[in-house]
Each structure stands twice: as C-alpha cells, then as structure tokens.
Structure 1
Amino acid sequence: MLTSILRCGIHGLFEGGEWSLPISHQDFVKGLDGQFDMYLTPYKPVPQNWFIPLDGTKVLGLASGGGQQCPVFAAQQADVTVFDYSNQQLELEKMVVEREGSAIEIIKGDMSKRLPFEDESFDMIFHPVSNGYVEDVEHVWKECHRILKKGGGLLAGFTNPALYLFGEGENRLTIVNKLPFKGHTDQSEEELVQTGGIQLSHSLETQIGGQLKAGFQLQELYEDHHHKVD
C-alpha cells in the first residue's frame, strides 16, 4: 500500500484572509534565496521543516492559483503544476509567471472530478483551504493519495466546521446556522461567481478521518485563525 506523509493546518473560527493577492517581485526574489513564508491558512505560516528539498521536486498546487504559493516553489527550482477552477486565480498565476519569467504548468480543472494526472506523479501536493466548495471531500483525499509518489507529502489546510455556525460582520459571534452547512442557495449568479460557489461544511471525521482512510499517515497538525486576533 502506498504510504504518503500528511501534514495539515486547521483553518480556525474567524473571518478574514486574502487569497487573491499575488506575491510581489521582491518576495519572488527572496524565494530565489530560500527566504519565504508559505500559507495554507490565513495568518500562520507553514513550518519550514514541513517542506522537503524542493530543487527538482515535482509539486502540485491543488486549488492553489492566485500567484501566491506556486511561484515560490518555482523560485526554489521545483517542477510546479498549478490546478485551479477559477479563471481569475489562474490569470493571476499567469501574470506572476510572465512577470518573473518562471516556469509553471497552469491547468484549469475541477477537483471534484478525477484529477488529470497519472498515478504517482508528484512528490508533494500543496492544498490551501478550498475544499469547502466540494461536496465529496473524501474524493479529494483519495485522488491526492493516488497521484502522490510513495513517501510523498500532502500539505493541506481546511476549515473547522464550527466556522459555519456563525454569521458574518456584526453576527460573527452569533450562531445563525446549523451543521452540516450548505451555503446560501439564494445567492445571485454574480454573488456565486464572486465567492467561488456555494460553501459546504465538512466534519473533522471526513477531513482528518477521510485522509487517514485514503491511506495517509498524519504527522503534524497546527491551528490558525480565520480572522486576525489582536
């Protein structure tokens, strides 16, 4: 049986976090020198010792468009593929690639379907918080396990389902929803495009237990906040 390394960051309980700001040229240059912070969740950087040596490593940025993480991997001489469903995020990725003259394979696709990669294609998968837009999150974990090489690593961020109990703005400390949560289906088409689709809560059983069921071994875990705490 394939055994891959699983490392997760749990997305916390508050609102915030900006996933559509591409890295600056200055940050890219720092990445060339091995100086970088990477984020699976809004505010707490991924521990540096979670990363395998990146030079020559095949890395998949799963739902990781936006020109934030994958250009840093490319700066470390990794062989990088980014896979995302959002045209806007992929355009930002393309902009950074062209600005820096880096090499990243950019693929648009739906991670709720079978991923368009052969078995054991990647050494590492970097998967920031995003599977709240997928109905069957266990499918995502199974596909990650399938396309990782033996001994490969999945670094994944996901949302604490308790987040979805609460409202937004003035109501962010008030329980307004029940679990499991399935978005607000009364959103207009424009609102759905802006938010990326209807969000879904996933239990820790399907998030963590689903990863273990797929064949991963949990090595490390940390918690973060969804809203900056003073």
Structure 2
Amino acid sequence: MTGIARSTRSHTRRSQPATFQVRVHLDDAKPPIWRRLLLSSELMLDELHAVLQQAMGWTDSHLHQFLVGENKVDRFAEQFHMQFMLDEGADGVLENRVRLDELPAEPKDRLFYRYDFGDGWEHTLVMEKVLPRADDEPPALCIGGARACPPEDCGGIWGYHHLLQDLGIPPPPAGSDDRPQGRARRIRSHLFLGRGDQRRPARSRRTAGADSRGR
C-alpha cells in the first residue's frame, strides 16, 4: 500500500510533548562523524529531515527517506518517503504525516535516515534520553558533535575515505580532538571550495520555518 498515513509499527503520540536526546551517526565513517541533538517529540519527519540537513551540514540537494526496522537492511523495515517518491510508486508512508514520537519512543530505539540514493549516506539515530520539555524550548538544538561531514557527490562514505587518502589527509591519532573546522579547511584547500561549502556542526540551531503539515 502506498501513501498510508501511519506506520503499522508506530507508537501512540504522546499526550504531553517531551524532548528526545538523540545521537546521530554517519554510518561507517572512520573516525566517527556524529551529532547530539535535542528534538521536540512533536517534530514531523519532514521537519526532522530539515534539522538533520542543517546539523550534519548537507545541502538538501538529493532525495531522502526514513526507515524503522531491526536494521537498515531489514526487508520488512517501514519506509517513510517524500511525496515525490510515493508519486513515483514507492511503497511506504508519507513522511509529513508521521510524528517523531510515533517512532523512536524509548532509550536505545533507533531510526534510520538515508540521504542521496546515489552516494548512499546512511545515518543511524539512537534515542539516548527522554527529557521533560520546557515551554520556551526550541524545536531542535544541536548540543554536540564531532568532525565535519564529507563533501557531497564524492562517491559516498567509501569514496570519501579514498578522497582523504588521495589528498594525503590521514585520520587523526586515537583520542585526538580533530576539530571539524581544521579538517574541513584542509579538505577545502585541496578541493578549492569556498567558505560557503564548510561542513561544520552547529553548536545551536533552530528549525527555521518548521512546517506543521500533517499534525
């Protein structure tokens, strides 16, 4: 069935909003590339997509989807799509009809996010904590992270690793800080990227113009 409103695996929406502390990993990145986010449980999945793009440093230039299942290759995983993908015949649920608290609801629950079906940037979101929510709390906040995300259209995570090798940029020693600003600057100097192409994790970001469709 295509375009159904809710996942068969979904939880009931919370009667009171909460704040989810979530750690986002870019899968297979070595050394790890990650962000820690505080997210409103009331975010719709299309709004979460916008948050992830900003927090990771992507440019929102490609298709994406969310998945819920045992793992990211689970053939029974529930898929959550953009309208375009449903129009093209994909099976799944329209993302702007599903709220975050219908999916990962408890610590250690996971949600998978795939960006750019060509390069295949795979992300795993792991619920760390469920926190009480203040009335004046922003819908999304990035409170931590490590390392800049790769340049887009470089061939995925393995292409990125080969790119670093070709540029002679070794991984940092174990336990080193490897601040994303310095690493991104070294890569930019080889790729001739401008300042606007920096992939820098935000210390704090709010969702701008969050769309409340499907609430």
TMscore range, shorter length? under 0.3
Q: Which structure shows the bigger proportion of residues in strand conformation?
A: 2
Task: Point out the structure with the larger helix share.
Answer: 1
TM-score, normalization by structure 1: 0.24
